[in-house]
């Protein structure tokens, strides 16, 4: 089992969380995905779904090193940092990876965000060991321990820019593609991010009728085109707009599955073992 990845969904919304009856099936938290193997866990984005994951991590004793990669620092991707329980536990070592923006370092951006005057506590109050890594486009980061995992980065079209991630392990690959505004024809430069991946996690922020150019998001139809062009095996849609209720997403999922059997709409708690 130590070679296997356990991929779990903790948040599926874009822009901001929702908490209403007709959002309980897919979930109302913002973006967060975990990938666990052996005693390690890699986390993709720290949306509000991260808080629940933090509570689980606090109760267990197995995983003590966390590697959190940010696609970018828009608020829906960092909301879960404000009450992330492992920050206050000395047994944890937490590596955080993200980009500098507009000439301001990743470290400065994060420390500005988490701490006064925006929040009562900050990095100086954390008891876990924190290691910050400034990363950029076209990098390959090796996370070595019980098993080598490579993380490749790809700059994507999104207001202010974002990073997409390709995770490569022993005979398995996960592609994380949000937030990202796809073109009508899949771009060669980004197809490699998903080439022959076992799973693509895709920005299906809007349906095509609602999508506006320049907003930095994509549709499930574009995701299915990308799945085909990249020869990946399966795709999970996520980052749904807050207006899209369970009923609406059920309809969209049925439409998508009518044209592709290898497509699912992510919901909180969903998982895959690779
Ligand atoms: Zn977002
Ligand atoms: Zn964004």
Per residue in 150-206, pLDDT tens?
Answer: 999 999 999 999 999 999 998 999 999 999 999 988 888 899 999 999 999 999 999
CA–CA separation, 202 and 156 (whole Å): 13
Of 54, 72, 64, the C-alpha closest to 94 is: 64
How far does the centroid of ligand 1 lie from the alpha carbon of residue 140, in Å? 23
What's the rounded Cα separation, in Å, for the pair 209 and 219?
A: 10
Q: How far is the CA of 167 from the centre of ligand 2 (A)?
A: 21
Give the pLDDT band of residue 144 (cuts 50, 70, 90).
confident
User: 177: CA distance to ligand 2 center in Å?
Assistant: 12
| Ligand 1 center to 71 CA (angstroms) | 9
Q: How far is the CA of 77 from the centre of ligand 1 (A)?
A: 6
179 domain residue, yes or no: yes
Beta bridge partners of 132: 96
CA of residue 160 to ligand 2 center, whole Å = 8
| Per-state percent for the chain, helix, strand, coil, to nearest 5 | 25, 30, 45
**Using alpha carbons only, what angle is made at residue 193 by residues 224 and 187, rounded to the nearest 5 degrees?**
65
Distance in Å, CA 161 to ligand 2 centroid: 8
Q: Is 49 exposed, middle or buried (0-12, 13-18, 19+ CB in 10 A)?
A: buried
Q: Quote the ligand 1 centre to 151 CA distance (angstroms).
A: 20
Task: Write the pLDDT tens digit of every residue in 108-142.
Answer: 999 999 999 999 999 999 999 999 999 999 999 99
Residues present in the chain in total? 274
Q: Say how many domains are in the chain.
A: 1
Residue 174 contacts residue 7 (beta carbons within 8 Å): yes
Are the C-beta atoms of 30 and 40 separated by less than 8 Å?
no
Instruction: Please tell me the distance between residue 14's alpha carbon and the centre of ligand 1 in angstroms.
Output: 5
Q: Ligand 1 centre from 106 Cα, in Å?
A: 18
Ligand 1 midpoint to CA 224 (Å): 20
Asked, for residue 83, whether it belongs to a domain, the answer is yes
**Could you give the CA distance from residue 239 to residue 29 in angstroms, rounded to a whole number?**
10
Extract the tokens encoding 205: 């922020």
Supply the CATH number for residue 108's domain. Answer: 3.60.15.10
- Is there a domain that residue 249 lies in? yes
Domain extent for 119: 6-273
The ligand that comes nearest to the alpha carbon of residue 158 is: 2
pTM > 0.95: yes or no: yes
1 inside domain:
no
Helices (H) and strands (E) in the chain, counts: 5, 14
* CA 217 – ligand 2 centroid, Å: 8
- In three-state secondary structure terms, 130 is strand
89 Cα–ligand 1 center, Å: 28
Q: What is the pLDDT of residue 1?
A: 55
Assigned domain for 59 exists: yes
Question: Cα 232 from chain centroid?
Answer: 18
Please, which residues have CB within 8 angstroms of residue 102's CB and are 6 or more apart in sequence? none
**């996370």: which residue's tokens?**
143
């Amino acid at each position: 089992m130590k070679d296997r990845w356990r991929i779990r969904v903790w948040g599926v919304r874009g822009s901001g969380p929702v908490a209403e009856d007709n959002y309980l099936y897919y979930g109302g938290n913002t973006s967060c995905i975990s990938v666990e193997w052996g005693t390690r866990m890699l986390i993709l984005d720290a949306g509000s779904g991260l808080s629940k994951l933090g509570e689980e991590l606090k109760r267990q004793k197995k995983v003590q090193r966390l590697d959190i990669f940010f696609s970018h620092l828009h608020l829906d991707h960092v909301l879960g940092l404000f009450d992330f329980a492992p920050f206050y536990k000395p047994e944890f070592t937490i590596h955080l990876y993200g980009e500098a923006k507009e000439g301001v370092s990743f470290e400065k951006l994060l420390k500005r965000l988490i701490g006064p005057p925006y929040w009562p506590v900050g990095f100086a109050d954390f008891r876990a060991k924190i290691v910050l890594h400034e990363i950029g486009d076209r990098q390959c980061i090796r996370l070595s321990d019980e098993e080598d995992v490579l993380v490749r980065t790809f700059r994507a079209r999104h207001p202010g820019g974002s990073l997409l991630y390709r995770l490569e392990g022993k005979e398995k690959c996960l592609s994380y593609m949000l937030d990202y505004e796809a073109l009508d024809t899949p771009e060669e430069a980004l197809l490699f991010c998903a080439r022959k991946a076992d799973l693509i996690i895709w920005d299906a922020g809007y349906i095509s009728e609602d999508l506006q150019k320049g907003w930095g998001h994509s549709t499930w139809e574009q995701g299915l085109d990308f799945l085909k062009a990249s020869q990946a095996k399966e795709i999970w849609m996520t980052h749904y707009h807050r207006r899209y209720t369970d009923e609406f997403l059920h309809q969209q999922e049925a439409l998508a599955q009518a044209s592709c059997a290898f497509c699912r709409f992510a919901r909180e708690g969903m998982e895959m073992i690779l």
